[in-house]
Structure 1
Amino acid sequence: MLKLLVFLILVVCCWPLAVVAVILYPFIWLVLLPFRLVGIVVEGVFDLIAAIFLLPARAIRAI
């Protein structure tokens, strides 16, 4: 919703810049997509490491 409002303000203030933004947005999204995927993978690896280290404490607590 916020992106739409910013875009509408940009259309009112400077429509050529808004047209350029509409054209470039998919390309910027494609460039940033690998960084998002790497972030998801790194977060998963850190969660796995945390689960491995906390497993003995969970096993003791369950007894």
Structure 2
Amino acid sequence: MFTFILWCLLFVFCWPLALLALVLYPIVWLLSLPFRLVGISVSAVFALLTALLFLPARALGQRR
């Protein structure tokens, strides 16, 4: 809601900048999408490596 109010104020005070932001937002979102996917993939790989490295410690801890 706060973002909408700020956008309305920007539209009232500087409408060309507000329209430019409205048009450029989807383009910037599309350009940043591959970087988000790479970030999710790297995070998943690190989670997998962490799980594989700590698997022996967890297996030994459960036997006791």
Is TM-score (shorter-chain normalized) higher than 0.5? yes
1:6 deviates by: 2.8
Q: Which digits, 9 at most, give the CA deviation of each residue in 1:13-45, with x for residues without a partner?
A: 201110111111100000000000000000000
In the TM superposition, structure 1's runs of 4+ consecutive aligned residues that sit over 2 Å from their partners are 1-6
Structure 1: tracts of 5 or more residues without a match: none
Distance (Å, rounded) in 1 between the aligned partners of 2:55 and 2:30 = 38
Cα separation, partners in 2 of 1:60 and 1:43, compared to 1, 3 Å: same
Identity of aligned residues (%): 51
TM superposition score normalised by structure 1:
0.89
Q: Which runs of 5+ in 2 are unaligned?
A: none
Tell me the C-alpha RMSD between the 2 structures: 1.2
**Length, aligned pairs only:** 63
Matched with 1:23 is 23
TM-score (norm 2): 0.88
Distance in 2, Cα, partners of 1:55 & 1:16: 57
